[in-house]
Amino acid sequence: MTNLPNVTFEPADSSLEGTVVVLAEEKFVLPNRAAQLNRQSRGQIKRAAGIADFKGESGRCLDLLAPNAAKIDRLLIVGVGEARRLDHDGWVLLGGRAYAELAARKIDVASIVLELKNRRVDSKSVAAFGLGMLLRSYRYTKFKKPNDRRPNKNAVRPASIRIVCRTHRAAGKAFAAEHGLADGVFLARDLVNEPANTLGPAEFAERACELEKLGVVCESLDEAALEDIGMGALLAVGQGSARPSRVVVMRWTGTGRKRVRPLAFIGKGVVFDTGGISLKPAKGMEDMKGDMGGAAAVVGLMHALAVRRVPINAVGVIGLVEKMPSANAQRPGDIVTSLSGQTVEVLNTDAEGRLVLADLLWYTQDRFKPKMMINLATLTGAIMVALGQEYAGLFSNDDKLADRLAKAGHDTGEKVWRMPLDPAYDKEIDSKIADIRNIGARWGGAITAAQFLQRFVRDVPWAHLDVAGTAFASKRSDINESWASGFGVRLLDRLVAEHYQD
Ligand code: BES
Ligand code: ZN
Ligand code: ZN
């Protein structure tokens, strides 16, 4: 895991020296301390901004070396645009951007003054800013060995940040919670970034079971157990692999009462998806090491909930399989019997995620009678055709749950867009010789996949998030430089915090 920068919080009147970061609003409105520095420097700061035509626009930054102000070596002025537009997500992005500006200049130690002229900066905003910095500091270095020439290649930079703000005590507390969340996101990113040769089903299960340290009760079900249970659909996906499938159940009993019905989170964990006998083309196939992004998000979320000792009951269920072509692999046309008893005609072995989820959904509702259940899966290329890489697809049988997810997505920046479920699509997945077929005709592939999943859901509020476009390989963002995003951890953590806590 990444070394995190050390962040401390100090009162608004702390002395400033070395490298200092301040914020500027549009029309170059400077808050208190920054205006003070401008006066000390006899207007040097405003003059520099005028020369650079910098007006505090969001996304821009002004760098002043050796300003004539007190003990300051360097002043970085980060534009925020219109202050009243800064919501939670805005603060997170701003933190990421400020961190990136410091990192780009190889600055090791900095003080950041978080104040605005036209708006009080509360402790939640400061904590959100801090979260953005942490998220941006993530790097995946497991396979980068430090060498003699560049011993510090893997060190975090900046390593030490002092945040100067009005509410430094409350901000420090709020930040501690965000720290646990960032750890969860990093865990998800680590799992998604790791290649499949070192992260097979057994290794993934082991990593998930490390949550035991945090008080999460973990069960790792092996193939014999899965056969006993009757997970024929899931097992058929992994039958072509030399590495046996696993299902891991993670239970967090934050209420202290086992009888309280849990929230359930379910993840597709295909450690590598070659497509099987319906083999994928070579180009870009390496991305399919990330086909366990849903399961990774579930593990990251359970980590975040447990670290913060969130007072709810939650259960995470992940299906870990490897989709390989081999002499034992499933064939197109095979018919498998799922745990629900429904038979599935497998017309394309590459539509494997839905087979894994079918059994997990059935198992979870049967065993845990959850209050609601949400599954995450890198399920279809079709969702990327529909929504690109900005929004995840949201399918739900429950309007209230869907609205809550959409709102949590808006607030965290992990955005979701609702797509339809409709019995009219059912004819696409009706099979002539089995109960269901695993692919529809050409169009609406993300919808027919969701419609397939719904056949394994009974009367429980349920949502399916198709994260194929958002779990990895997005363009670089302010809060992530690595391939894996950890998408889903912050979204679901927010959903829980807003609607299910206390
Ligand atoms: N894992 C893939 C979906 C995927 C594609 C995720 C690209 C992330 C990026 C899934 O198992 C798959 O192969 N789906 C097929 C379904 C088709 C055969 C009906 C697809 O989307 O092409
Ligand atoms: Zn596939
Ligand atoms: Zn897949």
Q: Which residues line ligand 1 (CB under 6 A)?
A: 273, 291, 348, 350-353, 378-382, 439, 445, 468
Q: How far apart are alpha carbons 163 and 132 in whole angstroms?
A: 13
Name the catalytic one among 74, 124, 142, 280.
Answer: 280
What are the tokens at 84? Answer: 């009243």
Which tens digits make up the pLDDT trace of 287-315? 999 999 999 999 999 999 999 999 999 99
Name the catalytic one among 136, 157, 354, 437. 354
Q: What is the pLDDT of residue 448?
A: 98
Q: What pLDDT score was predicted for residue 373?
A: 98
Residue-level pLDDT at 152? 56
Instruction: Taking residues 376-400, report their average pLDDT.
Output: 98
Q: Has 354 been annotated as catalytic?
A: yes
Residue 277 one-letter amino acid: I
pLDDT at 70 over 80: no
Residue closest to 488 by CA, chosen among 302, 271, 222: 302
- Look at residue 449 and tell me whether its pLDDT is greater than 90: yes
Do the two domains 6-167 and 182-499 of this chain adopt the same fold?
no
Confidence of residue 3 (pLDDT cuts 50, 70, 90): confident
d(CA 49, CA 54): 5
Point out the ligand 1 atom lying closest to the alpha carbon of residue 381: 21
The CATH code of domain 6-167 reads 3.40.220.10
* 166 included as an active-site residue: no
pLDDT band at 148 (very low <50, low <70, confident <90, very high): low
* 155 has a pLDDT exceeding 70: no
Considering just the CA atoms, what is the radius of gyration of the chain in Å? Answer: 25
> Does 371 score more than 70 pLDDT?
yes
Q: Are residues 306 and 274 in contact, defined by beta-carbon separation less than 8 angstroms?
A: no
Contact 483, 140 (CB under 8 A): yes
Tell me the pTM.
0.97
The CATH classification of domain 182-499, taken from the options 3.40.30.10, 3.30.360.10, 1.10.150.300, 3.40.630.10 = 3.40.630.10
Mapped onto helix, strand or coil, the DSSP state of residue 11 is strand
The domains of the chain are located at 6-167, 182-499
Indicate the length of the chain as a whole number.
502
Mean pLDDT over all residues of the chain? 96
d(CA 96, CA 323): 36
Answer for the pair 34, 77: CB distance below 8 angstroms, yes or no: yes
Element (H, E) at 359: helix 353-368
Predicted confidence (pLDDT) per residue in 263-291, tens digit = 999 999 999 999 999 999 999 999 999 99
User: Model confidence over 395-430: pLDDT tens digits?
Assistant: 999 999 999 999 999 999 999 999 999 999 999 999
pLDDT digits (tens, 9 = 90+) for 26-51: 999 999 999 999 999 999 999 999 99
CA–centroid distance, residue 191 to ligand 1 (Å): 19
Best substitution site from 271, 350, 383 to test ligand 1's pocket, by max atoms within 8 Å of Cβ?
350
Residue 1 has pLDDT above 60, yes or no: no
